[in-house]
A and B are shown apart, each in its own frame.
Chain A
């Protein structure tokens, strides 16, 4: 039955949250089963599909193969964390505008992978975008409209005066 529980303090979407969970639980399990952050999806549970992608200290990370305990002391951002009081993240808007969302199941992970890419490279090229999304499988779109959505966000970023930080 229930193994020993660890009490972890995780920094998620800007808040410190205490969670009691079995020591072997992944970050994805804690997000989905303890915190109700079900925007992070489980597609394979072994790091193959990318649906569980979150940002850890700004980098894309597969939460299904990350132990929750290993996320302690890091800043975790989930898809829910991209929505602020100012509204939706640019990428959430451009994915919507460009028709990049069909079934939508891969999209939280896809958007976070793209966010991590654009935070590093606000003017990422198509090839850089492809590279950054290479671990996130989408079965609906053929990626075309996803690339368009990310590119639209880069243009929007440029229009807002953001230069490359790289």
Chain B
């Protein structure tokens, strides 16, 4: 195989006419049914509460509090999906394709069905409705219908009395395949017209192609004093949560289908189940129990969810599917491999003039979030450095590999890697310190990016200050001696996005509050706590608003029967959106309480305060009552106490097609400095320290924010050196287990130093923004830049293996332009 660079890939005429410079043509895609009804086009309002505390000062917010579920998790009490065992429960197993690309000519399940202990078998023909998490690109089926598109593509499923019987039954299913040529290289997939992975796809193997230009990059480059132009490669990586995919379904005598699933998008799963299974959505209940890690890997509907449900319906018995670790790697949806060509310019005084990128994205076998990925690979790069001119051309293609999807820092971690290295290269050419060059291009608060994204709060400059001081940059950068170095990088990320996965005008997030006469407040939250602590955040907010102890607030979450809709744990949207929804709901109760108590005391409501479990008169501290008592008074004065709250984004984004994708109500910012030690004899690199400073707006609980920063930096570190999701020439996963797919252990990790910048956001809940994904981005280029500081080589192709390091050192010694390896291939 002779991969062409994405630049070459431009040669054939673009499958889709390039997208226009803003403003753009109207969207020609079909209008979905629920948008077509003009009566529905009344958009839920955007509510802003501002960064101030509800009372005189914060009582709960900003404190280093415990998580509401931590004790249950520490004692093993917390119930995860695989801990659910229902009476009469069957165990499901999935038959997967051994071929990367083949037509299914015939499936015979009769022998499997005849096996003792087998209760049900299902094939794709029984669930032919296509789905996809992005409704514009429904190209998946629960089980393969006519074709398999990667090794591991699900073909049939069995429910049996136990796992061993189910596995024996899989062996008895006979599938006739007609082999087709398989495409593993994205450049080849782009070129080949004779092999089409999705028949009926309008543009061969292209999932999505986006070209957007803002300003004029050619002019910008002509006016630059320094230019750099390079190829970069980001490899595939997996989420590898410690809990694999697992689902339990029960079809009750009342014809209600209940699914417990390790998903981070219960609402989309709910919709997909109704559509694929052909049963009314009100007959379906989706519950997300405690979840053992996700990182984006559980944000598609997955085959096992449909199969568990279908088999539960067929057998009238509960069915559990638990993916093995190997299946987890095949289900994938991990980070997209990208081949990137970047060109950037800088003026003599260190101002970035323009950036141009050409990106080929390896999507694997299905679309998943690919439409969004393609946009994100360009749209999320326009801060925190002012970029006056910018052009990107991103093309995502199908290949016969496990499908890629959203992994922490979806779509933008890869181009960020390229951009931040280019910025350092330019800084070197201009003789400017790398941190200083970032300072000179700091875009500031309350600005608009070149692609029309509204930036509100922005503390990136303070992030730079923090990592500069913490790493003792000024005395150590460039001065650590041969083999040791420091490197810096910056980034931004979204706090949720304006772009709702399925277009609608309803709120993006909702909560409901019930007040009990015992004094307990129960919050029903649609949000998926995937370990990041969203249930805790909701509890802190409601406790703050009602002046209560967090212990007196209970959160019930992610149960479609009980909780209002939240769109899910993705795009770092939950704290911002669900947080605002929780304030909205709680403030209604708070206002009612103040009014009822004020009336009872014969004072103005503004004199009534709620804090520390009491309601009291601000002007007469002797006048007080317990909050529970105040609830009784309020209930008597008004009605049964309860409230709903919701959040919707304001209208954001550029006025061009795709302008809302990546348009966020607030952006987080991160600066990172990494320290490396390169062994030039062996090519091994140690990373003793990573300093990460993250602007998350107000830190609602600094412990949780630090945890997100450290975890992000950790995950980025793993991607640089250790992790590589790839397939061999037959399409078999190269390392589908946690021994060979090496995620960092306690012994591998650098010291992660997290610090927080609180640029209070005007629209976030109490000024908060996201913390879960942003801090990952700069880790990777910071390490690359540190390697240059250590030994003068630019590594541009991930992962950084000792072989690549040695090759780059040898090239550098031969005084040739630095290239990690001659053919760009490693391993």
Please give the residue numbers on chain A whose beta carbons come within 8 Å of chain B beta carbons, in ascending order: 1-2, 32-33, 36-46, 48-49, 51, 78-80, 82-83, 88, 92-93, 95-99, 101-108, 111, 129-131, 133-147
Contacts and interface: CB of A to CB of B under 8 A. Distances in A.
Nearest 8 interchain pairs by C-beta: A39-B76, A103-B531, A105-B292, A104-B73, A142-B714, A99-B703, A79-B76, A48-B738
Given A99-B704, A99-B706, A130-B746, A105 B74 contact: no
Interface string B72-104: 111111111011010000000000000000000
B749 A143 contact: yes
Interface of B: 64, 66-67, 69-80, 82-83, 85, 116-117, 161-162, 165, 239-244, 290-295, 322, 324-325, 530-533, 703-704, 706-707, 710-715, 737-739, 743, 745-747, 749, 751-752, 754
A33 B795 CA distance: 49
Contact of A134 (B70, B704, B747): B747
Contacts of A95: 70, 74
Contacts of B64: 99
Given A1-B165, A102-B711, A139-B295, A88 B241 contact: no
A104 B240 contact: no
A153 B533 CA distance: 23
A142 B713 contact: yes
B79 A51 contact: no
A104 B117 contact: no
Contact of B244 (A43, A97, A98, A104): A43
Given A46-B737, A140-B707, A102 B75 contact: no
Given A111-B74, A140-B531, A42 B82 contact: yes
B71 A145 contact: no
B241 A139 contact: yes
Contact of A103 (B76, B293, B704, B749): B293
Most buried by A among B161, B240, B745: B745
Contacts of B116: 1
Contacts of A108: 76
A131 B73 CA distance: 23
Contacts of A83: 75
A41 B18 CA distance: 50
A134 B745 CA distance: 6
Most buried by B among A49, A80, A136, A144: A144
Given A38-B79, A42-B82, A137-B745, A101 B73 contact: yes
Given A80-B76, A134-B745, A142 B70 contact: no
B707 A99 contact: yes
Contact of B710 (A41, A48, A135, A141): A141
Contacts of B532: 102
A116 B715 CA distance: 27
Contact of A141 (B241, B243, B711): B711
B248 to A, nearest CB: 13
A101 B751 CA distance: 18
Most buried by B among A41, A42, A102: A102
B746 A143 contact: yes
B738 A141 contact: no
B574 to A, nearest CB: 14
Most buried by A among B67, B72, B292: B292
Nearest to B66: A96
B746 A107 contact: no
Given A82-B75, A101-B69, 16 more contacts: A38-B79, A39-B75, A42-B82, A46-B739, A88-B75, A99-B66, A101-B70, A102-B531, A103-B290, A105-B243, A138-B746, A139-B711, A140-B293, A140-B531, A141-B714, A147-B746
Contacts of A40: 76
Contacts of B292: 41, 43, 103-106
A139 B738 CA distance: 11
A137 B743 contact: yes
Contacts of B737: 44, 46, 48
Given A96-B70, A104-B73, A107-B73, A41 B714 contact: no
Contact of A97 (B66, B162, B530, B706): B66
A149 to B, nearest CB: 10
Most buried by A among B242, B243, B703, B749: B242
A106 B242 contact: yes
Contact of B71 (A46, A96, A106, A138): A96
Contacts of B747: 130-131, 134
A103 B71 contact: no
A79 B75 contact: yes
Given A79-B75, A101-B73, A43 B325 contact: yes
